[in-house]
Amino acid sequence: MRLKILKLGIVKSTNNEAIKLIKKNNLIPSLIYTNNQTNGKGTGGKKWVSKKGNLFISIYFEHNDKKNKPEQISLLNPAVIKNILKKYTNFNIKIKWPNDLLIKNKKICGILQEVITFKSKKYLIIGIGINTLHAPHGRNFKSISLNECSKNKVNNLNILENIKKSYEKLISDITRHNINYLKKSYYKI
């Protein structure tokens, strides 16, 4: 499945923008992105602190596969992003369940998956926030940027292209394989 890329200017949340696009009948599977998000969303209603210049993405597509439920697919998201980011660092990237990636026990990436129903069809939205260039600071969390621990020059557009290719493959795999096969494949168990 091919994803259409849409670049956005300043937004509150890429996931909210994806929801708006779906409700405006823009139903082509898409990847939307920005480097300026002002009110990012985290799991359980938490806020994702978004530092300007980092990479904020939402991928959305219709999902009606009964054998691979959205909550099962959410188990694959961290593996997909980890495999992309590990090309940029010699440090170990750990998955903090259910949806964070850590380097040196500091947050490098957060993933938020949502499902909405529109015109009796379900749409899966996968929001990805990556601290590519800057580490936001907060009292309740420690974060790090990919730039701080990179062995290569960090380029948001290169990372974006890798995410696009990886999710095009994942979405195609979801339609052909069951989740247990996919977990083994994506986690190399």
Encoding tokens for residue 87?
Answer: 């090309």
What count of Cα atoms within 13 Å lies in the side-chain half-sphere of residue 12? 7
Q: Does 70 or 30 have the greater pLDDT score?
A: 30
Q: What is the CATH number of the domain that holds 24?
A: 3.30.930.10
pLDDT band (50, 70, 90) for residue 189:
very low
pLDDT > 90: what percent of the chain? 70
Residue 85 has pLDDT above 50, yes or no: yes
Residue 88 belongs to domain spanning: 4-187
Taking only the tens place, the pLDDT of each residue in 7-54 is 999 999 999 999 999 999 999 999 999 999 998 887 777 777 889 999
Phi, psi (5° rounding) for residue 9? -85, -140
| Full-model pTM | 0.94
Residue 97: pLDDT band by 50, 70, 90 thresholds? Answer: confident
pLDDT tens digits for range 148-181? 998 778 999 999 999 999 999 999 998 888 888 8
Q: Contact 60/27 with Cβ under 8 angstroms?
A: no
- Written as six digits, the tokens of 179 are 């989740």
Would you state the structure tokens that stand for residue 112, as one six-digit string?
């938020």
Task: Give the pLDDT score at 141.
Answer: 79
With a CB cutoff of 8 Å and minimum separation 6, the contacts of 24 are: none
User: Per the structure, how many domains does the chain have?
Assistant: 1
Question: Residue 32, Cα to own-chain centre: how many angstroms?
Answer: 11
d(CA 189, CA 174): 18
How far is it, in rounded angstroms, from Cα 41 to Cα 164? 21
CA distances, 89 to each of 32, 154, 185 (Å): 25, 10, 22
pLDDT digits (tens, 9 = 90+) for 98-153: 889 999 999 999 999 999 999 999 999 999 999 999 999 877 779 999 999 987 78
Q: Which helix (H) or strand (E) holds 118?
A: strand 106-118
